[in-house]
Structure 1
Amino acid sequence: MKKKWVVLMLFTLTLSTGMTSIAAADQPANQTVLADQSSTGNHTENTDKSIAQTNEEKLAAGEPTSAKAAAGSSTKAAGSSTTVKTTASAGSTWTVTDSQIKDAADRVKSFIEKNDRLPNYVTIGSKQVSMSQYLKLVNQETLNLYGSSGSLTVGSVSGPTNPTESVKSGNIQKSEYLKLAKNILNFMNSNGRAPNYASSSLGTIRYESLVYAFSRVVAFHDDNSRLPNYVSVKSWTSQTGGSTTTDPSLQKYLVATANAQSTSSTIKNLAASITSGKTTTYAKAQAIFNWVRDHVSYSFYYNTQKGALGAYSSRSANCCDMAHLVVALARAAGIPARYQHGTCTFSSGTYGHVWAQLYVSGKWYYADAVSTRNSFGTINNWNLNTYTLHGTYASLPF
């Protein structure tokens, strides 16, 4: 079979240390059987309709090409290719064959079925690609395999901000998932990030399920030389629990320490109270951050003096002890949390500073609770463009 080429421009990736790459060894022996001209799986929920057209998502419904919205050729035309560009001003190029993208889809699919979570990134050719960037590539590959062609920009693509779902189990026909692939690309090109969810006749489908579903679509083509007639959909959270903590590299960010006493009954009960009624990891993390920001006042002193329990009991803390409380509450709620230390420029001058970060759906979010000007994931009281980072820690050493 002729090789078909996808050309990518080199883009810059910022990867956290300890992230897991997918290798052939990650593939379990027994995988989901794709049969009866369909693509089925353990976790997925995909749909056709349009991506959710809400103010939050700001999506414009993309119209599929009428000739390709129904039955038609499911084999990529000979000689067609996708030109993948970068948003950077300059860079070298590298090429990836269709077979390499299909191989990546096979490995992503296998990894999810083995680990009940998304990998942090996937290696395609010689490059490490984030899951958000991979979602763009695998959606374009799906369209290309159907006979479409077009250019694609892959630069810095943010992850979703708050993945949610409300979907019933069922099948999405080919015309639906082709339209969905196009709409996802339109959204990501317009917004520079992956969607939190997509809407469909079966309900709303969260980001992780979109990655899984289109991985199975492309993997099916790799095995059968054609696209599946449909892809099955199931709730992601019902199958995986929506966990973000199964990655062994994150375990050090979940354990209690001398000053982040996450196993203390006081901290555990407080965390349970704060997160009561919250159904997503993002909502729980945001609630914890908001509680510390709104209930503990800032007090100036050097280094750790109180720890999480002392900050809670006194309702007053410096940046170190406020970070201890955020970290302890997050870990008590099962959310990985860490510290960062840097020299930061505030309106009043430049100082050493400590803040927390919480890990949600494959992304670290800033959680600096010392100022009411800050929100979860956003810092406004010091300049993110000029600070100097001195260290990132599972346990703050001072």
Structure 2
Amino acid sequence: MRHALILIAIICSTVALSGCTETSNTLSESAGVPVAEVPEIAHRVSSASGTIDSIEYKGLNLSMNQCLYIFGRAIVMLASNEKGNIPVREYGNPESPDGRLSSAKLTRAEYVDIANRTCTWMDKNGRVPNHVGIRQEGARDLSPDTVLRLFVKVLTEYRSTGKLPETVTVP
């Protein structure tokens, strides 16, 4: 009886350990990026010094265009408590990037709206938008780089607190 219990304990611990390794440390383009992983990717982007064109995370090499989409989609999903994976697709560069807004304080509703409109536009057009507007009367547009920094800021705060911030200041 004692040997049987020891054997059962060994089998259970082996199964538990194999279950841990099943959630591998690699991600794939075909499976997409789990929304729960995105704040860590944003943190790594925020920690990078200088301008970067891509970032490697758990076996995926993501361009900044892909990060813009993934970060925006994650913000929308986190705002509505959605779980799941975000598809990894290729997106072209903006044709004529523009944006005149140098700083702003955005509410949660505003930056979630910006994230949703950015992703919707990228899905429809297959590339990064030239600029994204804030839906305030007379507000200037945000450049793609500013939108990326906005999304990174939101997600790194989420990583620290477990909540989307009520307001965020850009840049």
TM-score tier (shorter) = 0.7 to 0.9
- CA–CA separation in structure 2 for the residues paired with 1:127 and 1:140: 17
Select 1:138's aligned residue among 71, 83, 93.
71
Aligned partner of 1:209 in structure 2 is 146
Aligned partner of 1:176 in structure 2 is 110
Is the Cα contact below 8 Å between 1:139 and 1:214 reproduced in 2? yes
Residue 155 of structure 2 aligns with an amino acid whose one-letter code is V
Aligned residues with identical type, % of pairs: 22
SS for the counterpart of 1:172 is strand
SS for the counterpart of 2:152 is helix
Q: How does 1:243-392 map to 2 (within 5 A)?
A: none
- CA–CA separation in structure 2 for the residues paired with 1:96 and 1:154: 7
**Cα 1:125–1:151 shift into 2, 3 Å:** closer
- CA–CA separation in structure 1 for the residues paired with 2:99 and 2:86: 27
Residue 233 of structure 1 aligns with an amino acid whose one-letter code is V
Select 1:109's aligned residue among 46, 68, 85.
46
**Cα 1:126–1:151 shift into 2, 3 Å:** closer
Q: CA deviation at 1:96?
A: 4.0
Aligned residues: 141
Unpaired runs of at least 5, structure 2: 1-26
Q: CA deviation at 1:154?
A: 3.3
Select 1:128's aligned residue among 25, 46, 61.
61
- C-alpha RMSD of matched pairs (Å): 2.2
Aligned partner of 1:219 in structure 2 is 156
Q: CA deviation at 1:220?
A: 0.4
Q: CA deviation at 1:110?
A: 2.2
Residue 229 of structure 1 aligns with an amino acid whose one-letter code is E
Aligned partner of 1:165 in structure 2 is 99
Deviations 1:259-284 (A, max 9, x none): xxxxxxxxxxxxxxxxxxxxxxxxxx
Is the Cα contact below 8 Å between 1:100 and 1:124 reproduced in 2? no
Aligned partner of 1:189 in structure 2 is 123
SS for the counterpart of 1:167 is coil
- CA–CA separation in structure 2 for the residues paired with 1:232 and 1:144: 21
**Cα 1:97–1:187 shift into 2, 3 Å:** closer
Is the Cα contact below 8 Å between 1:108 and 1:212 reproduced in 2? no
**Cα 1:155–1:98 shift into 2, 3 Å:** closer
**Cα 1:153–1:101 shift into 2, 3 Å:** closer
Structure with the larger RCO, 1 or 2 (CA within 8 Å, 6+ apart): 2
Tell me the TM-score normalised to structure 2 length. Answer: 0.73
Return 164-173 or 176-185, whichever deviates more. Answer: 164-173
- CA–CA separation in structure 1 for the residues paired with 2:34 and 2:102: 36
Is the Cα contact below 8 Å between 2:34 and 2:85 reproduced in 1? no
Deviations 1:80-126 (A, max 9, x none): xxxxxxxxxxxxx4464445321110011122xx32x3x11112221
- CA–CA separation in structure 2 for the residues paired with 1:192 and 1:95: 17
Q: Which has the higher strand share?
A: 1
Deviations 1:151-176 (A, max 9, x none): 75432211112211111522011000
Is the Cα contact below 8 Å between 2:133 and 2:141 reproduced in 1? yes
Aligned partner of 1:50 in structure 2 is none
Is the Cα contact below 8 Å between 1:96 and 1:125 reproduced in 2? no
Q: Which has the higher helix share?
A: 2
Q: Is 1:154 matched with 2:88?
A: yes
Unpaired runs of at least 5, structure 1: 1-7, 11-92, 235-398
Larger Rg: 1
- CA–CA separation in structure 2 for the residues paired with 1:109 and 1:151: 22
Residue 119 of structure 2 aligns with an amino acid whose one-letter code is L
Is the Cα contact below 8 Å between 1:101 and 1:124 reproduced in 2? no
